[in-house]
Structures are given as structure tokens and as C-alpha cells.
Structure 1
Amino acid sequence: MTRAVLCGYYGQGNAGDEALLASLLQMLPNHIKPLVLSGNPDWTHKRYGVESCDRKSFFQVLSALRKSDSFIWGGGSLIQDATSAASPIYYAGLMGLAQQQGLKTIAWAQGIGPLKRPLTRSLAKRTFTGCEAISVRDRASAALLQEWHLSCTLAPDPVWALDASPVKGLWDLPAPRVAVTLREHPQLTPERLETLTQALVDFQKATNTCILLVPFQASKDLAIAQSIQPRLPGSSHIFSLEDPRELKGLFQGVEMAIGMRFHSLIMAASQECRCFALSYDPKVNALMQELNMPGWDLSQLPDDCNTISQTWLEHYANGDPLNPHQIQSLADRALMHRDVLVQVLS
């Protein structure tokens, strides 16, 4: 049995990153025994049935590396300095330590950047150069690696290939259903949130849909959902799900999704939902462009709630979801991330 350390933004209550971990565990070769670095090791062990240790304990991490054969950066926007300079330094530091220890290292399903600081850009380049293999989920990341003369595998986000599980109680709720995933962000100002809430009220009055408010990270999403729900005139429900497979399965019972969260849009699109994006991040814009998905940058959100609700109504009535062939193609190509793991770890 070969042991691999899995490193990402795990155990932090973010459903998108948990979905990436679930996808990685699903794609790992059978002979690999994972050890997950987590912000909540007990929860990670209970949820996935894998060995886990505290990602912030240097001695636990060093011990994990010393008894392992490989190290995997497990997906998402780990190497970016838009939120802080600390994040890329932490992840690159761990990767560098793993490389010094002689472990096989893989940068898996990465979304690289933005890298605005020369120091973090240089650090990222050096760390990626030391990897046995790299896979990325978007063209901009592939282009940056090409600029650095590094080869990589480009494939859709692994969550396209994540198995979905049914959600208890979902089918007891009135149909049709529309899911909404909003998150706390500087661009989602109180004024914009109020405009979106009023637009949602008007939309529900016109459609008589059941609104599902879906927090992807309780610390950033739940308060927003709780502020919207009392305003809604019709049926509504807040779904806080911990299992990423159930979260994906939730969208099987949804007609349309209105989302800020990147992985909420992927999950919804993969289940043949009509999707409408509210973008706060380049990765959401890239997804919109790739899938021809309608939406607005939050910074350019219309001030008039009627304009928003009418746009949603038009998309609800006449918008097209991805067809099964497109979805299957994305899921099949997402398995190229699995091939990278098999190639390096076999």
C-alpha cells in the first residue's frame, strides 16, 4: 500500500473544496492510501473514512510527509494571491517541503492565479517546476504554465465527474424548484443584495417556484440565506448539506440555478439545470464563457430589480440547459485528471 498526502483547502466548511476532495478520493488509484491535511481532521475522517491530520500543525504535517511516498495539491485556486499573500506561501511551502523529502509531487486540477505579486509569482513558478505532473482546469492556468515552459494536462474541473447522491426530503418539497447560491463578498454590497432579494421576490411571485437557498460555506453564505428567506412570499427551504455528493444530487431536482459559487454552477449544469451566473471572480467568468452561460458580473449588476427579475423569467421560460451529450463529454474529459494520478502513482 502506497501512502499519499492530499493537500488543499479541506475541512474548512467550503463545499466547493470538499467536492474537489471527494472527486480526488474517487479518482485515486485503489492501491493509494490517502492522508488528508485538514482544518478539521476529525470531521474529515468521519466524512470520508480516511486518515487525516491538522494542516496547521507543522509536526503532524512533517510526520505525515515522512511516512508517505507522494504529495498531491488537491485542486482549486490554491496558488493565488488575490485574497492574501499567505495562501500561496503556505501551499508552495508544503510542496517545497514534500519535494525536499523526496516525495513524488503532483499539482492536481489547479486553477492558478491571479498572481499579482512578483514574489508569489516567482515562488509558484519554482514550485510547479519541481512537480512530477501538473493538471489544470482552465485555459488561463495552462497559458501561464506554457509561459513558464511547463507542460500540463488541461481538463474540465473534476467535480463534473463526481458521483451524485439523492437528497432526503427534496422530492417532498413543491415543484418546480429554483436553487440560489449567494456568498458574502465585497462586490455583493448591501444595496446589491437588496436588489437581488427584491428581484427574487418578484421572480417567485411570477413563477410560483419553490426557492432553495443553498449555503456552500456556512460562514459566508448562511446569514445571507437567512436574510432572504423571510422575504420570500412562497415556498422556500434552506439546504445546508455536508456531503458533496448530496450537494450535487440536490440539483437533480432543480429547474434553474442562480449562483455566485463556482462549483454550484458546475453541479447545477451537470444535472441539466438552466444556470444564471453572478460573477465575482475570473474563474466564474471563464466558466460562463466556456458554457455560454448567461449572467452578470456583480460589479455591473443592474440597479433595477425589475430588469433582473425579467431577465431571470426569460431564462427560466426559454433558456436551454446543457444537453446530455455535452454533460457526458465534460465528465469524460474531467477524468483526464484521474489519468494523471494513475500515470504518476502506478
Structure 2
Amino acid sequence: MERRIVVSGYYGSKNAGDEAMLAAMLEVLGDLDPKLHITVISASPADTSERHGVESISWLGIPSIIKALWHADLLISGGGSLLQNVTSRRSLYYYLAIIFLAVVMRKKVMLYAQGIGPIIGGLAEFAMRVIGNRVDLITVRDKGSLAELARLGITKPKIECTADPVLAIHPVDKAAGRAIFKRYHADGAEPVVGISVRNWQHETHFKDVMAEVSDRIVRELGARVVFLPMQFPEDVHAAESIAERTHEPCTVLKDEYTTSEFLSLVGNMDLMLAIRLHALIFAGVMGVPMIGVSYDPKIDRFLASIGEKPVGSLDDVTADELMAEVRRKWNDKAVFRKRNAELLAKLRDLAARNAELALQLIGNQEKGTRR
């Protein structure tokens, strides 16, 4: 019998990290069971279907969502930072509502490699605790999320710490990235430092810092700086606002890319300096040394999982601190590549385990029943 899975997450919104999570999830689930039927709830169903080759329904189409869940064996909620209310207060309740629908229909429910929290406020904590304790399985991508679950009093489901789904994705060839660099006249013999930024609240301090660091990288290292947009087009605007502050040449990539193209681009870089979590994770997948600047606990948690820590946060990072870390990584690139590769190999296995656990959950069940 064909097994059916509905996937709920922040998909179809032109965010490279979330699209990569979905691509990795589909890749590993498909490897394990090529006959799976997967339906993805998306902000842009046409884009999701075209990009990932799956059935997709609108995140606002409640009748379609109910119908898909009714015929499903499993709801996967994730991955990513869906269950938090710092970047958006309303989205937490939306994702919990989808989970609640599946629970009411007595379907299996898995929180898939989620980054839990921060969740702030009595009502949000109560809703998360009540619904979280009704799901069948929770995997989280870091130990900080385990601590948040414990703080919230979510103890009834099986809970396991795995890793971000993107870490299970296969590395790609670098040719596509080289072709994109060539189109932007950013190819040649110079080494490349990638910078991935985002706008955050009303912070502007970090933009001055990043512009100075970009200039110093060009002058001191003889490298080319390329800004990589992970959320389109918002990150393009953020990168352009930094490029306007620079005095040395830099390149801002201004197009929307597939997960494979992003990985290929990052693979052609010698160092990745990022505010975006999945720019760091792409660097890990492609064996590129990385430097993170924190704006959210998920950055700190991922870097801790590979034995590193961020160089300050958006509101206090300095150009001197960043350049000191850039020089340290630059001078010993081979050492950091080797060390990161060893740690990431373990995380890659844990990332793949998410899909294995999902299929175990529905392996011996009768459709529509719940343990």
C-alpha cells in the first residue's frame, strides 16, 4: 500500500534555507521509499511543485489541507524554526493548528528536525505544551531545542536530538556555481569569500561592520567578496545596502537560485562569512570553512554542534573581531576543512536519521489509526 505523507513548513516563500530543507527531506525519504506519496503545504504551491516535483497545496486552503490530512498516514511538521514566536507571533499558532488538525484526525504526527523556540508568553507556552505532548515523535536539530522542550514541559512523545535535514543532502558539482560567477564577471584566479546577510529588526551597525570587513578582505587577502542572497529578494536589498558602504569592489548576486545552485556557489568559495544559518550549513555540506555572526539562538546552536561559536552578534560585532577570525580561518583553511568534515560526517548520519524515524513511525500502522 502506498504510504502518504503531508509536510507542513515555511515552503514556497523563496527562502533558500527552507527550500534546501525540503529538498533534503524529499531526497532522503525518496531514497528510503521511492513509492512515497508526499504532499507539501506551501505559500506558493505552483513554485513548490515545479521546484521539487511533488504535489503541493496552499497554506491558506483549509479544505485542501483537511482532505490531504484525512488521506495521510503521517504529518511531518518541519524542519526549521517553525515553533517559535520571535520572528512572527502568528506563525506559531498556524503551525500548531495544522498539527492539532492531524491529532484530531488521529493521524501520526512528527516534528521533524525542528529548532524549538524561543517561545515567549504564557498562552504560547501553554498551546505548545498541550499540542506538543499529543504528537507521536519529536526530533530536534540541536541540544538547545531539547532544553526548550524540557522548559515547556513537553515530555510525553519520543524525543531525539538529530541534526538539520540539510546536512544529509548530497554535495554537488561546482560547475554551475562557476558559470554563475562568470555571468557576474566574478570568476578568475582570485580566491572568493562569500558573505550572506539579512536585514534584522532595525539593526544597522552590522552593515557598517560588514562593509569594512569586505574592504579589508579585498585589500589584505587579495580575495574577491561575493554576497549570497538566501531569501529572495530581501537579502539582495540587505547586501546592496552594505555594498553601497564599501570602497573596494564586491559582487552582489541578484538572482534567485535553486538549492543545487546555492550549494555549487558555496562550493566555489574559500570561506563563508554568514548571518544566515543555512549559508553556514551549505558551507558545511560543501567543505568550506565558515564564520557565523549571531542574530538568533539557532546560529549559536549550530556552530556549537561543530565545536565553534559565533563572532559576536549583530548589535555588538566589530570589524577587528571579524577580521581576526577571518585571518585565523584563512591561514589554516585545510585544518578547519578537515576538522569540520569529521564533525559534519556524524551530523550527516543524524540528519538522515530523521527520515528513517519518520518511516519507522508509519511502517507497521493501519491507515488512519493511532497508537
Both structures adopt the same fold (TM-score exceeding 0.5): yes
* Deviation sequence 1:284-320 (CA, Å, 0-9, x none): 0112223233522122212xx4554344234322354
More displaced 10-residue stretch of structure 1: 108-117 or 127-136: 127-136
Structure-2 change in CA distance of 1:194 and 1:144 (3 Å)? closer
| Backbone CA RMSD of aligned residues | 2.1
Aligned to 2:369: none
Conservation of the 8 A alpha-carbon contact between 1:258 and 1:277: yes
- Of all paired residues, the percent bearing the same amino acid is 26
Q: Which amino acid aligns with 2:52?
A: Y
More displaced 10-residue stretch of structure 1: 206-215 or 324-333: 324-333
Answering whether residue 161 of structure 2 is matched by residue 162 of structure 1, we say no
Aligned to 1:339: 356
Aligned to 1:215: 229
Which ranges in structure 2 are unaligned for 5 or more consecutive residues?
Answer: 364-371
- Displacement, 1:258? 0.4
Aligned to 2:133: 129
Partners of 2:61 and 2:89 lie apart in 1 by 20
Please, which of 150, 155, 173 is the counterpart of residue 149 of structure 1?
Answer: 155
Aligned to 1:86: 90
Q: With structure 1 as the length reference, what TM-score do the two structures score?
A: 0.92
Aligned to 1:265: 280
Question: Superposed, which structure 2 residues align to 1:1-346 within 5 Å?
Answer: 1-28=2-29, 29-146=33-150, 147-150=153-156, 151-166=158-173, 167-170=175-178, 172=182, 173-174=187-188, 175-186=190-201, 189-229=203-243, 231=246, 233-234=248-249, 236-238=251-253, 240-294=255-309, 295-302=311-318, 305-306=319-320, 308-318=322-332, 320-323=335-338, 324-346=341-363
* Deviation sequence 1:78-125 (CA, Å, 0-9, x none): 111112321111011111011112221111111111111111111112
Partners of 2:36 and 2:212 lie apart in 1 by 50
Conservation of the 8 A alpha-carbon contact between 2:114 and 2:139: yes
Q: Which amino acid aligns with 1:243?
A: T
Aligned residues: 343
Structure-2 change in CA distance of 1:169 and 1:13 (3 Å)? closer
SS in 2 for 1:254: coil
Partners of 1:177 and 1:318 lie apart in 2 by 15
Which ranges in structure 1 are unaligned for 5 or more consecutive residues?
Answer: none
More displaced 10-residue stretch of structure 1: 131-140 or 235-244: 235-244
- Displacement, 1:235? 5.7
Structure-2 change in CA distance of 1:191 and 1:237 (3 Å)? closer
Conservation of the 8 A alpha-carbon contact between 2:177 and 2:268: no
- Displacement, 1:332? 1.5
Q: With structure 2 as the length reference, what TM-score do the two structures score?
A: 0.86
Partners of 1:196 and 1:276 lie apart in 2 by 13
Conservation of the 8 A alpha-carbon contact between 1:24 and 1:74: no
